[in-house]
A and B are shown apart, each in its own frame.
Chain A
Amino acid sequence: EAQVTQNPRYLITVTGKKLTVTCSQNMNHEYMSWYRQDPGLGLRQIYYSMNVEVTDKGDVPEGYKVSRKEKRNFPLILESPSPNQTSLYFCASSPGPTNTGELFFGEGSRLTVL
């Protein structure tokens, strides 16, 4: 089954404790991205990757890091989480440059930073 898998789905952590949210897709997609969803703000892009070893900032990259060492994986790293990073996070993928806008989303990771 074609899917985007995120882990963990739910996480409660404390300020300053480094964490990683993993994302893996099995569709051989070139493009992957991370969004955060906050009430009243919709989805905002954090980082994206056009291919292996190619990453770039989205609209709200502060406080986050990413890496793309393999095509299928695109982890989101919070080096020193803060309460304002409490949010619902989505990983998405799509085939590549010719894509006209269909993104395939994971089920989301709800993060709470105390």
Chain B
Amino acid sequence: AQSVTQLDSQVPVFEEAPVELRCNYSSSVSVYLFWYVQYPNQGLQLLLKYLSGSTLVKGINGFEAEFNKSQTSFHLRKPSVHISDTAEYFCAVSDRRVTGGGNKLTFGTGTQLKVEL
């Protein structure tokens, strides 16, 4: 079984400041890792994903995340945030061994990013 821990439920930050949203996972098997974003009153959309290869993954809207296997972490970062980045961010994992396992995501509890002027 897998689990995902997002340590911060809310992160307030001023516009143009850097931000890091933390994600740690627990799994006995090899996993795929994801960040999804949910804007107000919308469904979730994929921000970025780590499947294999380079541990630094770049996504949409200037976000990036780094996979750290030894620390079982997949923290999300952006060097300079904008008001439009205000949203809820979800970290998720899936079992890479299972055929179709990529479809079954285990989500964290979410981090609300609030960007202020």
- A binding-site residues for B, Cβ under 8 Å: 4, 31, 33, 35, 40-45, 48, 50, 58, 90, 92, 94, 96-103, 105-108
Whether the pair B100, A96 counts as a contact (CB closer than 8 A) is yes
Whether the pair B43, A99 counts as a contact (CB closer than 8 A) is no
The 7 closest A-B pairs by CB, nearest first: A105-B43, A42-B109, A100-B102, A97-B100, A43-B107, A42-B107, A101-B102
Known: A42-B108, A42-B109, A43-B107. A100 touches B32 (CB 8 A): yes
| Cβ–Cβ < 8 Å partners of A108 in chain B | 41-43
- B binding-site residues for A, Cβ under 8 Å: 4, 6, 9, 32, 34, 41-46, 49, 51, 90, 92, 94, 96, 99-100, 102-105, 107-110
Whether the pair B108, A33 counts as a contact (CB closer than 8 A) is no
| Cβ–Cβ < 8 Å partners of A94 in chain B | 102-103
* Residue in A41, A45, A48, A99 whose beta carbon sits within 8 Å of that of B109 in the complex: A41
Most buried by B among A31, A43, A96: A43
Nearest-CB distance from B100 to chain A (Å)? 4
- Contacts A92-B43, A105-B44 known; 4 new A-B pairs at CB < 8 A: A40-B109, A100-B32, A100-B51, A101-B32
> How many contacts A-B (CB < 8 Å)?
75
Whether the pair B43, A4 counts as a contact (CB closer than 8 A) is yes
How far is B31's CA from A60's CA once the two chains are assembled, in angstroms? 22
Known: A42-B107, A100-B51, A101-B94. A107 touches B100 (CB 8 A): no
Whether the pair A103, B49 counts as a contact (CB closer than 8 A) is no
Nearest-CB distance from B99 to chain A (Å)? 5
| Cβ–Cβ < 8 Å partners of B96 in chain A | 100
| Cβ–Cβ < 8 Å partners of A96 in chain B | 100, 103
How far is B44's CA from A108's CA once the two chains are assembled, in angstroms? 9
Whether the pair B49, A100 counts as a contact (CB closer than 8 A) is yes
